[in-house]
């Protein structure tokens, strides 16, 4: 082989090697944000699982507040459906927006529930209710931390895929941009007030 052929072969090997490195790093970053979403998924499931217990405990006390309890239950159902859809493709921006919207609706419904609860001293003093509200508050904090981790991972992935020459490889191999999980308000990053004084 002559020198020109060796140089050409070395350039091809270098380009292919660099493409492999870029591809593998994109896969790593994509898997990282998917894993970060799995942490959100666990915490949201925990949050959603606590709500029926809250409603059940409150039903005996809130005899005239069925509409409030129905709103919470309905919002929970919507949030669970949005979570299921987001779980299928945690990089899809529209699914992340739908999840954020559904979780915001649930947070608002829980806020209404908390406001109504203030009018029922016996319910506020109920040991089971206090324990459930404390667990819910703890879960809200965990959701906030998991969401931050997910968004950080998505930002790392998106930044890497947009850099030159990575953008050519990400386009060629169809690595689409991932969507952040952003809330209209900071409803989930600040747990609901659990003050019963």
Q: Which residues contact 99 (CB under 8 A, 6 or more apart)?
A: 79, 82, 83, 85, 86, 181
Structure-block tokens of residue 67: 């509409």
Task: Out of 41-45, 62-66, 73-77, 91-95, pick the least confident.
Answer: 62-66
Structure-block tokens of residue 139: 């879960």
State CA 38 to chain mean position distance. Answer: 8
Q: Which residues contact 142 (CB under 8 A, 6 or more apart)?
A: 43, 46
In terms of DSSP H, where are the helices of 89-126?
Answer: 93-117, 121-125
- Measure the CA–CA gap between 192 and 83, rounded to whole angstroms: 20
Q: Which residues of 120-129 are buried (b: 16+ CB within 10 A; e: fewer)?
A: beebbebeeb
Closest CA to 35 of 116, 113, 91: 91
* Cα angle: 48, vertex 151, 155; to 5 degrees: 160
In the predicted structure, residue 96 carries a pLDDT above the cut 50: yes
State CA 29 to chain mean position distance. Answer: 17
DSSP letter assigned to residue 2 = -
Q: What share of the chain has pLDDT > 90, as a percent?
A: 61
Exposed, middle or buried, 135 (CB in 10 Å: 0-12/13-18/19+)? middle
- Measure the CA–CA gap between 73 and 105, rounded to whole angstroms: 11
For domain 3-172, the CATH class is mainly alpha
Exposed, middle or buried, 153 (CB in 10 Å: 0-12/13-18/19+)? buried
Identify the residue with better confidence: 141 or 184.
Answer: 141
pTM: 0.81
- Measure the CA–CA gap between 153 and 180, rounded to whole angstroms: 9
In the predicted structure, residue 183 carries a pLDDT above the cut 60: yes
Stretch 69-84: mean pLDDT: 95
């Amino acid at each position: 082989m002559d020198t020109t052929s060796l140089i050409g072969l070395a350039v091809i090997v270098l380009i292919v090697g660099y493409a492999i490195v870029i591809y593998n790093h994109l896969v790593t970053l994509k898997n990282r944000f998917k894993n970060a979403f799995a942490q959100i998924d666990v915490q949201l499931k925990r949050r959603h699982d606590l709500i029926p217990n809250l409603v059940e405990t409150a039903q005996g006390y809130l005899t005239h507040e069925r509409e409030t309890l129905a709103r919470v239950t309905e919002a929970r159902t919507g949030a669970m459906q949005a979570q299921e859809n987001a779980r299928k493709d945690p990089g899809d921006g529209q699914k992340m927006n739908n999840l954020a919207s559904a979780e915001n609706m649930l947070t608002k419904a829980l806020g209404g529930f908390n406001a109504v609860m203030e009018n029922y001293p016996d319910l506020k003093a109920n040991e089971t209710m206090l324990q459930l509200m404390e667990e819910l508050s703890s879960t809200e904090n965990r959701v906030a931390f998991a969401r931050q981790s997910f968004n950080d991972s998505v930002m790392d992935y998106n930044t890497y895929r947009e850099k030159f020459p990575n953008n050519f490889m990400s386009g060629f191999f169809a690595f689409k941009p991932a969507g952040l999980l952003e809330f209209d308000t900071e409803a989930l990053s600040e747990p609901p007030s659990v003050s019963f004084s």
